[in-house]
Structures are given as structure tokens and as C-alpha cells.
Structure 1
Amino acid sequence: MISFYLNGKSCEITHLNPNTTVLEYLRLHERQTDTKEGCGSGDCGACTIMAQRLPESSSEAVKPSPFFTLNSCITLLSLMDGHHLMTAAYLADNPDNHPDRATLHPAQQAMVDCHGSQCGFCTPGFVMSLASTYENHRLQAEASGSTDELSYDEVVASIAGNLCRCTGYRPIVEAGLTMGQIGQQRDAAQEIAKDLTIDLATDAMKTSHTPAATATNALEPVLTQNARQLFMPQSLEDFHQVLAANPSATIWAGGTDLGLSVTQHLVDHDAIIQLSAIDELKSWTLTDPDDTHAKNNSLNKSLVLGAGMTYKTMLPVLEQYFPEFAALFERIASPQIRNMGTIGGNIANASPIGDLPPVLLALDAQVHLRHCDVANHTTDNQASYTDEVLPLSEFFLDYKKTKLRAGSYVVAVHIPLMQANQHLYIYKISKRYEDDISACLLAAKVDVAADNMTIENARLGLGGMAAIPLLAEKTQQALIGQPVAVDSFLTAAQMLPMDVSPMTDVRASREYRMHVVQRLLVKCGKQLVVDVEPVSA
């Protein structure tokens, strides 16, 4: 079974279509209609809910996990195993003996006071995004003793994944800036705020929330309905067993793009292997060049990111080792998507407009694949497998086609660390600054000579230009050996049509894409000239 809390109530489920999304469960099974369905594709934020991971047992004494938001329309319910799900209706403190005197959550009260709602359809989603930010800020303040209030930038960032069609955003942002004051006023009046965190030790149900797939046999599904099955392996060994036995199953990590197959294309996956419980895929490390899985890298150390790491968990790591890459994250999707989407899913999905692959191509990243031995698998033994580490540039074959095959998955991504003479530039073009898909993306890594006067090497990753993310090989070759000067990039830009014939779609025409990327390459040259100064003889 899967087990979780919904608005303070314990839920345990054994029989349910594995393709059921959180939104579908809320509205159709629980009649929890305060969560709205807007776009059904994770774009508008109307379906936003808030969640918090539960401790694994009632005796576990740990500080509360942070709250996070997600798009319930594209999130499988099984991903919420071991979590507390909260909707807008739960936030208000409405005692049974005073049903007419509900105390709204500061985020809700602020939306009322600042007139942040008009038609009201998007309001629950905005409330959840603001409430999550408020609660996390409160937890941090309690831990550090800080009295700082939320900044304008923090409030704006928190609602980046929510769209409003009526009021405009000024009163909503004002509500975000005001909710802290409301909370402080209640604290001063000694009004006890509702604690949204579930305390398993005092919960009347005293339900154990050990991870769902505790069946003795890893091959047993945790959810079934008719012929459809959901597997939730708890370790890599279990995963190999399940995958070898079900090689055609859909592998589901965050599912922020795969979820569209359910909501937009109405696909009912017969078998799903859900990876959220496998901690081995969520870690990162630095690897020496002589490591088995890094031997094809350069002499540099590599950052190894587990395929199950989400954008949110990757961000502090990239800020430390690749700050230019980290800066792109505020342009990638929304907080709700970044809380769930994974690097492995973004690569394996092989979308030509994915934001990560062009940057990883420019950084000369390698992808670590694992191929389970499907042909010789038996249920009596652990599944055998072979590992393959190859340049990411060899991974993408054609539109939505990769080196993955039945029984294969992405284990990790290896990224050589930047050296002092290397410079990284990333440019994303989209119709909206936030929460939008790329029309085109250019990532350029340029190596300069010791005297800062010559380009020693260049790698140019392109996204949104063709059926796959790719390297502009002829263009980057035209830069090698050339002076660090804008003219070098102007000349190289003329080679771009030899590398790619851009596509035309609803986001941009081929002519626009070509012109923009050529100009972005020149912009890269201008920035490089500013960033490096020739060394005097």
C-alpha cells in the first residue's frame, strides 16, 4: 500500500489505478474541490498544493522537514507516500465549537486584506505557494532566532509558477509582503497558530509511515487495479530486480514531463516503476579522474549528480561548483516543477527543448547508464547488469530516441569541474522570463590560453533548435585558435547554418531561431572580451 496524510487525516491505499494523479484523487475520490484544475499540464499553478515529508516513525525525533509545493495535476499520488498533503481548506484554524469564527492562515488573511482575489479560481494555488514560503520562513526564523521579514524578491519567486488572469500581481505580491506582519501581530496577541506539521507520536491513528514498498518480495506491486501495477523499489538492488522482470515498464522519477502523457494524451501506463524511495539515486559526490566511471573524463575532477536529484536539491551544489549554471535555474519552469523534476528525467525524456542538456553538452558531461540483463533474468537471483559511461553528445540519437533500451536507466551525470581558464555563458530565450519553455538556448564554454589572447577550445550546446539537443561542432571549431575578440565570434556565427537547420513551431520560426542564436554567440564574445584581460609581455 501507499500511506500518507491528507489535511491531517491518515490515508492508506492498496487498490487504485497507478496513473492516478494527486489532483484526480483530491477532487474525484476525496471530493476536496478547493484545489482547482486549470491547464492540466503544470503551467498555471491553480492546482498547487503544499506537502511536507513525514518522519519514518513516531519515535523519530528530528526537526520538521521543509514544506514544498507541487503541481497536483501532473504528480502521481504514489509520489506522496510518506508525506502530509495540505490544501487551502486545511490552512484555516476552524474549531468545531466555533465554526463561524475561523482564523485564516496569514497567507489567506493577507490575500483578503490586500484584495488579492477576484474570480478566485487561481486563489487556492497562490495561497498554497505563499503559505509554503511563510511556513518555511517561520521554521528558519525559529531555528536561527532571526526577525527578518520576507523580501520582495522572495515573494515574487514563490509565486513564479502561479498565473492570474484577473487582478494582476501587485495585490498578490502585497499580500505576500503583508502575511509576515499578520503572523507577528498574532504572536504579539499570544494567539496560538495552527501547527501544520503532523506529530506522529501524538497522532491518534499512530500509523507507521515506513516507506510503502515493505513487501518481502520486491517484485510485488504496491498499487494495483485490474492489470495495471505500480512498483516502488526501495533500493537499487530491488530496482534492478523489478526492471529486469518488467523491462517495458514506465520508469517514473518526478514525472513533471511524463505526467503530461496521462493528463494530455490520456495514456494509461500498464506498469510504472516509481523511483522516489531510492536514496542512492539522490546523492552527489566529487570523483577523481581514475575512478571507474570517470576514466573517460579529462584530468579534472568531476561532479557526479545522481539521476534522482531534483532541481531544488541540485541548486546549492551547482551554486558551489557551477554558479553560471545555477543562475539558469530561476528561468527553468517554476518552484513547483523544480521541487519534483529530476536531472535524470530531464535527460532521459530527451526533449529537444529541455533546459539542462545543452548546458551539460557544453560542459562535456558524461552520462552513466545501467543496462539490466533482461534475457537471463530469473526471480531466484539478483538481476545482473552492465554499466556504460558515454559522452552526453552520443546519448541523443533522434527525436525522443536515446541510447536507453528496455531494461536500461540513467544512474548519474558526470560533469568535469571548471578550470580557471574556462568561461561559461548560458542564454535562454523564451516568451516569458519565468515558467516558460525555451524558444532557443545557447550554452558556451570557452577555454582561453594562458596569455588570455587566444581561444584554445570551445563547446557550444544548442537547445530548441533541432530534434535533439546538440553541439554546434563546425561553429565551435571555427573559434579554436582565434583571438579573444568579437570579430572571432562574428565569423564563427556565420558557420552556424552548417551545424543546424532550425525547426519552426508555435514558439518561433526557423529564421528567428537562427538569427537569435547567432547574435547570442556574438554576445558571448563581447562578454568574454570583458571577462579576460590580455597578459602583458
Structure 2
Amino acid sequence: MAIYVRSVRLMCEPGTRNARLIRNVLDSLMTTQTIRFLQHGVVREVGDAPVTRTVLQHLRETQQCTGTKEGCAEGDCGACTVVVGELDARGQVALKAVNACIQFLPTLDGRALFTVEDLRAADGGLHPVQQAMVDCHGSQCGFCTPGFVMSMWALYENQPADAGLPTRDEINTALSGNLCRCTGYRPIVDAAQKMFDYPRAAFDREALKASLQGIRRTEGFKYGALGATFHAPATLAEFARLRAAHPNARILAGSTDLGLWVTKQFRDLGDVLFIGNVDELKTIAHDAQSLTIGAAASLEDAYAALAADYPELAELWTRFASLPIRNAGTLGGNVANGSPIGDSMPALIALDAQVVLQHADKTRTLPLDAFYLGYQKTALAAGEFVAAIRVPRPSADLRFRTYKVSKRYDQDISAVCAAFAVRLSGSRVTGARIAFGGMAATPKRAPAAEAALIDREWGEASVREAMAALDADFQPLTDMRASSAYRSKVARNVLWRFYLETRGDAPLALFDVNAFAFEARENGSLTELP
């Protein structure tokens, strides 16, 4: 093979047509490793799949495992839900429901894949999750059922034996990424409660842990096919080196954005640099001044840490996409993406978060509101990457809220996402940071509205002036989600609501939108939220 490769290289002189593609293919042949993962209790190895082949495509088209369905191919419907098992930072098994339709096959290396076929008992009997779906009449056409079953199985296996049954809120969160058009959610929620009534199905976590340890790579993973290379370094130093050496490579985290570039836009990503194996970038730490969240920390873990400091973020946490998306996506990816409708950024900007950028072995820190330069344009230099997000710890003088307004309660893109942080000395405003998503080409502060509040009494007069000043801060566009006039009105109204909830005299009680939505779903009266 080496002699053949060298011979073909001689034909690939600079300027030769397709020389770059041929050279990349040859480099891949000489350096590639196989994708190695656990499935159905055995180690699978794949060496001929494109770098951007999805897990769903591999399951259905290569393995003929057609229990997992394809619906939207963008991570919205949940028909493709599978569970991925991996070793966490403590060396323990973590099971996470994810969307197979947007996960690239090389990301499975060193992990375990579970599909609906894995739930069948040795005697062919149904798993308690499946039996509960049958007994509660939770399946009609059946197309969405495998995805629901896998989301429920993840909940089933992740529920500690001594923790009791999951709450209704926890069940709704687990099912937030799955859509049903036949039976509706009531019988499926019933099944999620009833599945714990049957004799417990055996699942050997220790055996899985040992198997994962057996295929875990201590060094980086490199996979090449059809002229593209998938780099998966295991250390921060190696990731930084590769990023500096390959500034045009696409950084991949949870595939929740890049996955759609492939499945919807049919784009060629070229070389890919995967951040998901760098444990150093998954760390979440805090000191007296700040909470530091590594860029590769999942959205679910990041929001759990943020909500511990700022309970006001709890609703936004559960309404950010769905659990499978939050399991896969990262806060660093959401920030680096720079989408004007990314729900994380307004809250982080209002809290005066900083973004830590790294190039090779050098780092620099920017205020997050200075990171965005234009529509999907950031201050990242060539070869630089987001390493962490740093958020100040809460203080007693801070009043903070976030509000998300969208057409659908769960898993919907915001028409407007607002965040308000006001510092009070008595009843006087000493500082104000107001940020919006969906109102401009970037997540953006509202300087005129902030100026109308600072050094004023936190009262109706100053807030009314700030509401009017928002028209100077934003001229939102009209699109399928909302009109410009609607967005402007919503922006003013959520600022007023923030004042009503934080005023010193008879503050408005926090509206429990979660309780309202869950109750409305149960009795079938959910048409729109107030």
C-alpha cells in the first residue's frame, strides 16, 4: 500500500486537477483509524463511512436497523431518538438520549449506542417501557413510538432506585423532544409513570463500564474518508494545536447546528475538529467571583450550574430546545455560533458574562456583548476558539429575569428572548443591563433603555421611559415567527412585566408557566400561553 500511495503522489503535482482531493484521500488512507463503538453488546468497527454520515443513516441504510425512524432530519420530532452511553469525567456510565438524525457517526467512537432493538428481552418479551406503552394505549400509528420509548428508557435507567418515581415535571422534560400526532401526550405520560410498576428490567452498568473502558482511547482519534478528516483530540493542548494548524476546519460539538448544514443544506463540511472528547473543556468550576463553564460542557450541565446560581433561569433551561438537544449541544457552541435567536446569549449578556478565547497556548478574554460584530460574525481570529464562558456570581442587589416568547411552549425558536439585570441601592437603579435576542442581527443590548433607568428611581415613570426608548434601540424585522410591530410590543411588555415582578411595593408573584402548561396539556385546554 505504501509503495502504491507514493507512486500516486507523484501524479499529484501542484496545479493538477483535483490534486488536493487526491492527496487528502491518500493521507486518509495512511493515517485513518476505524470508528469503534459498542452496539448490541459487541464492538462495531466502521472504516468506510463519510465523515458526515449520520448515525441514523448508518442504522437504517447500512445495518438495516429500521426501528429507529426518520421524521424531520433536524432534531425536532424525536422519531430518531437513540441513547448514547459514555464514561463521564468521574469514570461512570452516563446514558443520554440524543437525536440520531444529526449526530455524525465518528462521534460514536469510544461510546455505546442503544436503539429500540436493544430493549427486547432474551426471551423476546417487551421491556417495561414498551409494555407500559401497550397497556396505556400510548401508540397509534406507531411511527413516533420508538423515539418515545428510547427517551423513556433513558429516564427509566437514569432514575436512581432510592430516588422514588420521577415527577410529572421530570417526565415532561424527558419527553420534550418527542412529537406525537396520534394519541397525544396523556397516555404516553401515563406510560412513563406506569413503567416503574413492572418488575425491574436488568441492565448491567458495571459490565457496560468495563466494555467502554476497553475501547476508550487514551490518545486522540483521527478518522478520514473521501477526502475529509475527522480530528478528535483528547487533550486541550492537542485541540489548540490542531485548531491553530487547521483554522478552516469546522469545530463540531453536539451537531445541533452543523448537523442541519448537512441534512438540510447538503453542505460539504470539509475537515472536522471534534471538541467532544476534550474533558478539560467540559469542566464547570466556580470561585467567589465567577462561574466558569468549559466550552464543551453540555447545555444540560451548563444550565444546571447556571440555575444553581440564578434560579430565575429555570424556565429558560427547560424551554431551551429539548433534552436530547441539550444533552448533545454545548453552551460554548451556542455562544460561538452567534445566532441572533440563540436563547443563551441575552441572559449571559445581561449577567455581564465574559468569553475566554484561546489560540495555541495563549488566551484572551472579551465581554460577551463585544464578541458579536455582525450577523453570525464574531471576534474570533483565525485558529482561535471559544474555550470557556465566565459568569459573575450573584449579588444581593441584583434583580434578574429572562423571558422567552414563542409560538410553542416546548422546543421552539424564540420570536423574542429578553433578559434584564438591574442593580438597586434601595429603590434607586445603580446599574442596568438589558439584552434581547430576535430583535437584531445579533444578540444585542439596549443602551437607550438602560440609560433611561440608571440613576433613577425603580418606578413606573422611569420604566415607561425605558419602554419607549426600546424603539430607539431596535428596529426588528418581520419574518415567519413574528412581525416587527409584534416584536417591538413584546419587548416593551416584558420590560414592564420585569418591573412588576421586582418593584418594591407589592411585586407581582412569579407566574409558574411550567405548572400552567403541564396542567393545560393534561386537561387538553392548552391553546396559547397568556
Q: TM-score, normalised by structure 2?
A: 0.85
Q: What does residue 244 of structure 2 align with?
A: 244
Provide the rounded CA distance (Å) in 1 between the counterparts of 2:325 and 2:242. 27
Q: After the TM superposition, which parts of structure 1 deviate over 6 Å for at least 4 consecutive aligned residues?
A: none
Whole-Å Cα distance in 1 between the matches of residues 213 and 458 of structure 2? 65
Aligned AA (1:322): Y
Alignment-mate amino acid for residue 129 of structure 1: S
What's the counterpart of residue 106 of structure 2?
78
Residues 93 and 209 in structure 2, CA contact (< 8 A), matched pair in contact too:
no
Establish whether residue 155 from structure 1 lines up as the match of residue 171 from structure 2: yes
- The answer as to 2:462 corresponding to 1:520 is no
**Is the counterpart of residue 352 in structure 1 residue 340 in structure 2?**
yes
The alpha-carbon deviation at position 418 of structure 1 amounts to: 1.8
Deviation at 1:469, TM superposition (A): 0.2
SS of 2:402's equivalent in the other structure is strand
Counterpart residue number, 1:208: 214
Distance 1:254 1:521 in 2: 33
The alignment status of 1:303 with 2:291, answered yes or no, reads: yes
Aligned residue number for residue 461 of structure 2 = 487
SS at match of 1:320: helix
Letter in 1 for 2:464: L
Unmatched 5+ stretches in structure 2: 1-33, 508-530
Q: Deviations over 1:152-193 (max 9, x none)?
A: 2222221111001111111111111111112xxx25xxxxx3
Contact 1:50–1:70 (8 Å) recurs in 2:
yes
- What is the CA-CA distance between 1:258 and the residue it aligns to? 1.8
Question: 1-side partners of 2:213 and 2:362: how far apart?
Answer: 40
Q: 1:251 to 1:285 in 2, by over 3 A?
A: same
Counterpart in the other structure of 1:176: 192
Cα distance change, pair 514–30 in 1 and its aligned pair in 2 (3 A):
same
The answer as to 2:339 corresponding to 1:391 is no
| Alpha-carbon shift at residue 50 of structure 1 (Å) | 1.2
CA distance in 2, matches of 1:168, 1:485: 45
- 1:74-223 equivalences under 5 Å are 74-95=102-123, 102-137=124-159, 140-141=160-161, 144=162, 146=163, 148-182=164-198, 186=199, 193-195=201-203, 197=205, 199=207, 208-211=214-217, 214=219, 222-223=222-223
Query: What's the % identity of the aligned pairs?
Result: 41
Using the TM superposition, give the Cα deviation of residue 55 of structure 1 relative to its aligned residue in structure 2, in angstroms: 8.4
Which residue does the alignment assign to 2:28?
none
**Could you tell me which residue of structure 2 aligns to residue 46 of structure 1?**
79
CA-to-aligned-CA distance 1:19-60 (integer Å, 9 cap, x gap): 11111111112111110111111111110011221589xxxx
RMSD, aligned α-carbons: 2.1
In structure 2, the residue matched to 1:496 is: 470
Alignment partner, residue 297 of structure 1 = none
TM superposition score normalised by structure 1? 0.84
For the structure 1 residues 105 and 11, does the alpha-carbon distance in structure 2 shift closer, same or farther, using more than 3 Å as the test?
same
Q: Distance in 2 between matches of 1:307 and 1:269?
A: 21
Task: Give how far 1:63 is off.
Answer: 8.2
CA shift at 1:196, angstroms?
A: 5.8
Deviation of the 1:64 alpha carbon: 5.2
- Normalized per residue, the structure richer in helix is 2
Instruction: State the distance in 2 between where 1:480 and 1:491 align.
Output: 12
2:244–2:359: 8 Å Cα contact kept in structure 1? Answer: no
Contact 2:93 2:208 in 1 (8 A): no
CA shift at 1:386, angstroms? 3.1
| 1:91–1:196 contact (8 Å) kept in structure 2 | no
Distance of aligned partners of 1:67 and 1:86 in 2 relative to their CA distance in 1, 3 Å threshold: same
Query: Aligned pairs, how many?
Result: 474
Q: 1:200 to 1:518 in 2, by over 3 A?
A: closer
Taking a change above 3 Å as real, the CA distance of residues 198 and 28 of structure 1, as seen in their structure-2 partners, is farther
| Counterpart Cα distance in 1 of 2:209 and 2:374 | 53
CA 1:201–1:342: 2 relative to 1, 3 Å: closer
